[in-house]
Amino acid sequence: MTPPGEAPGRALPLLPTRGLVLFPKMLAPLFVGRGRSVRAVERAFGEQSPLVLSAQREPGVEDPGPDDIWPVGTKARVLHLSRLPDGSMKVLVEGEERVRIVRYEATEPCFLVTAAPLSRQRRPTARTRSLARRVRDVFARYVDLHPQLPDEAQDVVQQTEDPDEVADIVAAHLQVGDEEKQALLAMESTEQRLVALLESLAEEIAALDLEQEIGRKVQERIERGQRQALLREQLRVIRDEIGEAGGGEDDDEGYRGRLAALALSPAARALAERALRRLSELPSLSSEVAVVRGHLDTLLGLPWGRLAPSEVDVAAVARHLERTHHGLRDVKDRILEYLAVCRLRGADQPATILCLAGPPGTGKSSVAQSIAEALGRPFVRVALGGVRDEAEIRGHRRTYVGAMPGRIIDGLLKAGVDNPVVLLDELDKLGSDWHGDPAAALMEVLDPAHNHAFRDAYLECEYDLSRVFFIATVNDVDAVPATLYDRLEVIHLSGYTLTEKLAIARRHLLPRVARDSGLRPGDVRYGRGALARLIRGYTREAGVRELERCLRRVARKVARRHLESGLALPVTVTVADLADYLGPAPWED
């Protein structure tokens, strides 16, 4: 039915809305700021004609076209209009009926559309009346549960008899997404709309019930904690009154808070709770208190699932290795291939253990540290040279005085995460005696099939090492026990060529030596052929350690002569000057 003053089939201005689906009988305030939208509202308000409101498919589109607007909207009346100083306006509209956009008559200066009302049931059936009553009852429970809905919404629905109006009012108040509301608006069948509303209300009520249940449990836990805190405070006051030591309740509370915040394994949690009970029973001056507290500090100080970012960016690792290490092309390629395979397999760390083998000074340890920096993980170095006691790996039993966890667990305590890069340095220099064989203990650490349940004697529970990225270094591969060698992926670093040593000296060693000697970069320069002569005549090594020592000797002499005799900087060291700074060359070219 066409209202008085409105011609049948008349083109109506269209206002695209963002984040709002308007239903009939619904009042909605709007802030209108886009040009076409402002002109559409002005036209409707000036002509006292209806306005079609239809939601955008994507709210982020600033200048929507006809394809960006849903074809079903609501014809509404502009009840009030207020202009704001910035050119926008505040509008109050009331929905009248659902309409379908038949065609767009114009898009400038505003959208003009021809819209047809959606067909609706002329006479409610017994089924739709029954569904409407059910919707009213369920909506009443929904209003009771939802904290943001006023009780007046329930009263309005209860006073409405028409099933279509019940569907419109309930859909308008339903706190669901815009797409779901648009689907409810576009349904032509009253029965389908009511059934869909019942399904949505049931889902929302289930979610609200769950939220309330969680809220009750949280509140009960808070109240229980407050009650326990009050009782402990009363117990502390009573002990103070009778002159009895309190037993460190503050520390006990700290331990309990840390325990609650950590995701310990069931065995570890039971162990920690048993230690806390034991601690609360001990007299404060007992010598065993320090032992129990030390064990708790270790147990609760471990990461227990806390991880550093574990994404393996092979390209980033390649760039970082190229920036920090010159040469070693084959070594870099093998490391990057290894990490690429691990990335494709989706593993946090390699399935076997990288082992960098080569002479001293070839950069094994620094390559491992560069891998850790490129991966963004903490770096832990475990020096194994001269280790002869198995307890250094597996930890000491707490029955011994001065017992400590093993070096692996201690490294995780320092790293603070479960997936650090751990360097097992000088693996070939492990010893063994009557204390045990550390190499045998390391087999459990390095074996991917078993290190997910590594047991440290000090912890007395299993700990997962499967996410640790282990890298080992050796000088002599033949000195590594066969059982350990079988678990290693060996990468050989054979040494540097003269050209590589020259590049390393210029890019890395000279700036570092100058900084460590109190000089500025460039204060000590080497003339043509001087660095090559120094390398050939004064060093005989695969690495660059002796070369760095020679450069330091030169820098120290320059620093002394600059201060004692006023030697002007910068200084250029020529081939002829090398004998003056370093003495006669031990080797001839």
222 in any annotated domain: no
Rounded to whole angstroms, how far apart are CA atoms 89 and 191? 38
- For the ranges 126-135, 248-257, 305-314, 381-390, the lowest mean pLDDT is seen at 248-257
432 in any annotated domain: yes
Rounded to whole angstroms, how far apart are CA atoms 420 and 469? 6
Query: What is the DSSP track for 323-362?
Result: HH--S-HHHHHHHHHHHHHHHHHT-SS-SSEEEEE--TTS
Q: How far is the CA of 83 from the CAs of 109, 374, 589, in angstroms? A: 19, 57, 91
Statement: residue 249 has pLDDT above 70: no
Q: How far is CA 69 from the centre of its chain?
A: 37
User: Tell me, what CATH number does 444's domain have?
Assistant: 3.40.50.300
**pLDDT band at 232; cut points 50, 70, 90:** low
Identify the top-confidence range among 236-245, 360-369, 553-562.
553-562
250 and 355 inside one domain: no
**pLDDT band at 451; cut points 50, 70, 90:** confident
Tokens of 280: 């609360």
Among the listed residues 534, 545, 437, 540, the one whose alpha carbon sits nearest the alpha carbon of residue 483: 437
109 and 18 inside one domain: yes
pLDDT at 347 (0 to 100): 53
pLDDT tens-digit map of 420-430 = 889 998 888 88
Mean pLDDT of 241-269: 74
End-to-end, the C-alpha distance of the chain in Å comes to: 108
- For the ranges 147-161, 167-181, 390-404, 479-493, the lowest mean pLDDT is seen at 147-161
101 in any annotated domain: yes
Mean pLDDT of 275-279: 85
Q: What angle do the packed helices 530-538 and 545-564 form, to 10 degrees?
A: 120
Q: Which residues pair with residue 68 across a beta bridge?
A: none
With a pLDDT cut of 70, the percent of the chain lying above it is 93
pLDDT at 337 (0 to 100): 82
pLDDT tens-digit map of 167-185 = 888 888 888 888 888 888 8
Tokens of 168: 């419109």
Last residue of a domain, one of 55, 86, 117: 117
**pLDDT band at 245; cut points 50, 70, 90:** very low
197 in any annotated domain: no
234 in any annotated domain: no
81 in any annotated domain: yes
Rounded to whole angstroms, how far apart are CA atoms 454 and 409? 10
Cβ atoms < 10 Å from Cβ of 32: 20
| DSSP code of residue 401 | T
Statement: residue 349 has pLDDT above 60: no
Last residue of a domain, one of 117, 146, 168: 117
Mean pLDDT of 481-496: 82
101 and 41 inside one domain: yes
Tokens of 438: 């550390």
Statement: residue 368 has pLDDT above 60: yes
Range of the domain at 249: 245-301
Rounded to whole angstroms, how far apart are CA atoms 66 and 427? 71
Query: What is the DSSP track for 473-497?
Result: EES-GGGS-HHHHTTEEEEE-----
Among the listed residues 416, 444, 341, 424, the one whose alpha carbon sits nearest the alpha carbon of residue 381: 424
Q: What average pLDDT does the chain have?
A: 83
User: Tell me, what CATH number does 534's domain have?
Assistant: 1.10.8.60
pLDDT at 182 (0 to 100): 85
Q: Which residues pair with residue 383 across a beta bridge?
A: 425
352 in any annotated domain: yes
Is 286 in a helix, a strand, or coil?
Answer: coil
534 and 476 inside one domain: no
Tokens of 523: 């204060």
483 and 375 inside one domain: yes
Cβ atoms < 10 Å from Cβ of 287: 8
pLDDT at 2 (0 to 100): 44
pLDDT tens-digit map of 370-386 = 888 887 889 999 988 88
Residue with more model confidence, 546 or 310 = 546
Tokens of 226: 């407050």
**pLDDT band at 291; cut points 50, 70, 90:** confident
Tokens of 342: 């691990």
Rounded to whole angstroms, how far apart are CA atoms 393 and 427? 12
**pLDDT band at 4; cut points 50, 70, 90:** very low
Last residue of a domain, one of 442, 472, 492: 492
In the chain, DSSP finds a helix count (H) and a strand count (E) of 21, 15
pLDDT tens-digit map of 111-166 = 899 888 887 767 778 888 888 888 888 888 888 888 777 777 777 888 777 888 88
Provide the domain count of the chain.
4
